[in-house]
C-alpha cells in the first residue's frame, strides 16, 4: 500500500516527495474533490495525507469521503504553518478522555 499527499502548498509537497510520497497540490474546492476521488479509486493507495487546512475549510468534502469509504485511511497533517491545534491539545484531549483535570 502506498501513501498519497494532497497538499495546499508546494513546501509540504516538496518535503513529502523527498520522503518518497507522491501527491498533488490543490487550492480550490473542486480540485480537492477530484484529488480525493482519484485517491479513493486507486486501490494501491492505503493512506491519504491531507494538510490541516482542508479539514478546516472543506470539512464536508473530507467527512463525506471518510464516512463513505473504509480505505484509504485519511489523515490530517500539519503543514509548514504548524498545527491548527492549541498548544495544550494532547493534555486537554487526555483530560477529556479520562475526566480529570491534568
CA atoms of 102 and 93, how far apart (whole Å)? 10
Q: Is residue 29 part of a domain?
A: yes
pTM: 0.76
Please give the pLDDT value at position 89.
Answer: 57
Mean pLDDT of the chain: 83
- The residue whose grid cell reads 504548524 is 82
Q: Is residue 95 part of a domain?
A: no
Q: Is residue 70 part of a domain?
A: yes
User: Phi and psi at residue 19, in whole multiples of 5°?
Assistant: -90, 0
Residue 50: domain span: 2-82
CA atoms of 10 and 30, how far apart (whole Å)? 18
- pLDDT, tens digit (0-9, with 9 covering 90-100), for 61-74: 888 888 888 889 88
Residue 14 C-alpha cell reads as 516538496
Amino acid at each position: 500500500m502506498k501513501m498519497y499527499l494532497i497538499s495546499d502548498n508546494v513546501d509540504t509537497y516538496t518535503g513529502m516527495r523527498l520522503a518518497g510520497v507522491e501527491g498533488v497540490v490543490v487550492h480550490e474546492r473542486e480540485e480537492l474533490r477530484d484529488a480525493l476521488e482519484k485517491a479513493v479509486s486507486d486501490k494501491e493507495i492505503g493512506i491519504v495525507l491531507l494538510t490541516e487546512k482542508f479539514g478546516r475549510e472543506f470539512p464536508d468534502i473530507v467527512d463525506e469521503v471518510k464516512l463513505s469509504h473504509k480505505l484509504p485511511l485519511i489523515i490530517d497533517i500539519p503543514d509548514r504553518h504548524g498545527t491548527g491545534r492549541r498548544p495544550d491539545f494532547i493534555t486537554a484531549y487526555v483530560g477529556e478522555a479520562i475526566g480529570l483535570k491534568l
